[in-house]
Structure 1
Amino acid sequence: MLSLIALCALPTVSFAQPTAAPSAPGLSGKWSGYWVSDKNGHTGPLHATFTPLGDDAYRVKYRGRFAKVIPFRYTTTMDVVGTGDGVVVLSAEKPLGPFGTFRTTATATNTNFDATFTSRRDSGRFVLNRR
C-alpha cells in the first residue's frame, strides 16, 4: 500500500511534443525593388543578394542606379538584432570615409525587406521584394 501511495505522488510525465516557436525567415537569395532619398526625393532601382554568414548575420550585396544612369555597388554585413513571429530585424554600420558612416536598420519577412538608411548628408529607404 505504501508503494502505491509513493507511485501516485510521483510527478506526472507528459509525452506531448513541445510546440516550436515560429522561426525567423531566411533571407538568402535575390531581392529587387527601389531606394529613395528623404532629403532630395531621388530614387532608383535597387537589387540585392543576401548570403547567410551563420545564424546571426548576412552579407548583402546591393547594386542600383543613381540619377537613372550612374550605377553603384555596395556590400555590407547586416547583423540580426532581433527575431519574432516571421520577422527578422537587421542592422548595419559601415564607415565610408569622407561620406561619413552609413547606417541601416531593416525589418524583413520571407517576402519583404524594408530598411531605413542614414549617412552624413542623406537618409531614406530601401524597399525590396524577394524575386
Structure 2
Amino acid sequence: MRLFLAVFVSGVLPAAALAQPAPELSGKWSGYWVSDANGHTGPLHARFTPQGDDAYRVTYRGRFAKVIPFRYSTTMDVVGRGDGVVLLSAEKPLGPFGTFRTTAVVTGTTFDATFNSRRDSGRFVLRR
C-alpha cells in the first residue's frame, strides 16, 4: 500500500486520470438519417447550442421522401462524459406519433444516435 501511495503522490497518475476531456459539441453538424423500420433515408443537418453544462438544444433539419422538409428541435441531456466522449439522451412527446426517444454517443467529430418512436426506429449519423 505504501508503494502505491508513494507512486501516486510522486506525480505518476493512473491512466484514467489522463483520459481526454469531453469534447465541445456546439455548432453545425451534417450527415444523414435512416429508418430501420422502412429503409427511408435522407440528408440531415443539426445545430448544437449549449444549455448550461448538462444539456444542448439541438435543432435538426432534413428531408423525408427526397422532397418533404422537416425541422425538429429538442433538448438533449448529457447523461455521461469521459475519455473524449459525451453521451446524450432526449425524450419528446409528439402527440399522435407517440414519444420520440434519442440516445447518442458523440465525439469531437462524430454523432452516432439511435431513435425510436411508436412506429419507427433508426439512426442519425452526423459528422463535423
Unaligned runs of 5+ in 2: 1-5
The higher radius of gyration belongs to 1
Distance in 2 separating the partners of 1:122 and 1:21: 37
Distance in 2 separating the partners of 1:81 and 1:119: 20
Unaligned runs of 5+ in 1: 1-11
RMSD over aligned Cα atoms: 1.7
Question: What percentage of residue pairs aligned between the two structures are identical?
Answer: 80
Distance in 2 separating the partners of 1:58 and 1:78: 5
The yes-or-no answer on 1:122 pairing with 2:120 is yes
Distance in 1 separating the partners of 2:10 and 2:103: 42
Distance in 2 separating the partners of 1:22 and 1:42: 36
The yes-or-no answer on 1:77 pairing with 2:75 is yes
Secondary structure of the residue aligned to 1:106 is: strand
Deviation at 1:84, TM superposition (A): 1.2
TM-score, scaled relative to structure 2: 0.86
* Superposition map of 1:65-104 within 5 A: 65-104=63-102
Distance in 2 separating the partners of 1:109 and 1:43: 23
Distance in 2 separating the partners of 1:68 and 1:22: 39
Distance in 1 separating the partners of 2:10 and 2:79: 34
Q: Which of 4, 26, 29 is the matching residue for 2:27?
A: 29
The yes-or-no answer on 1:108 pairing with 2:109 is no
Secondary structure of the residue aligned to 1:98 is: helix
Deviation at 1:20, TM superposition (A): 6.0
The number of residue pairs the alignment matches comes to 118
